Amino acid sequence: MKPKQTWPEILLTKALRERGLAFSTNSRGLLGTPDIVFHRQKFVVFVHGCYWHRHHLCPRSRIPRKDALLWLRRFAQNVRHDQLVARRLRLDGWWIFVAWECEILRDPELVGAEVARELGRRNEIRG
């Protein structure tokens, strides 16, 4: 069982379904447990929270004043982990799309359109 979806995940999967795209939200066995998986295209979407995954220059990724150094170290670990996961998945032939929480909340349809466009490019290349 997949734990409860976050609000951005719910919005994005709804936008993708409305586009008629078929995907899975169960990524058991896949490194980094991506939130949305297009198995046939070997294409995954990570819905990243801006705070924990450190969205660059995003107001949601502020650094807490208290214990700032500790937090910075922890954040750096998160980012390193994300990079490692992305690198390994790419080596296995997966395409990766990172969808940021703040962008989905602002305009889920727009992010859905970007995912669909990337997926289309992926299909073209794979033939």
Q: For binding to Zn ion (CB under 5 A), which residues are involved?
A: 50, 55, 58, 60, 100, 102
The smaller minimum CB distance to Zn ion, of residues 36 and 99, is found at 99
Cα–Cα separations (whole angstroms), residue 102 to 5, 11, 60, 99: 16, 12, 8, 9
The smaller minimum CB distance to Zn ion, of residues 102 and 113, is found at 102
Find the shortest distance in angstroms from Cβ 61 to Zn ion: 6
The smaller minimum CB distance to Zn ion, of residues 42 and 60, is found at 60
Find the shortest distance in angstroms from Cβ 60 to Zn ion: 5
The smaller minimum CB distance to Zn ion, of residues 44 and 53, is found at 53
Find the shortest distance in angstroms from Cβ 126 to Zn ion: 30
Find the shortest distance in angstroms from Cβ 104 to Zn ion: 9
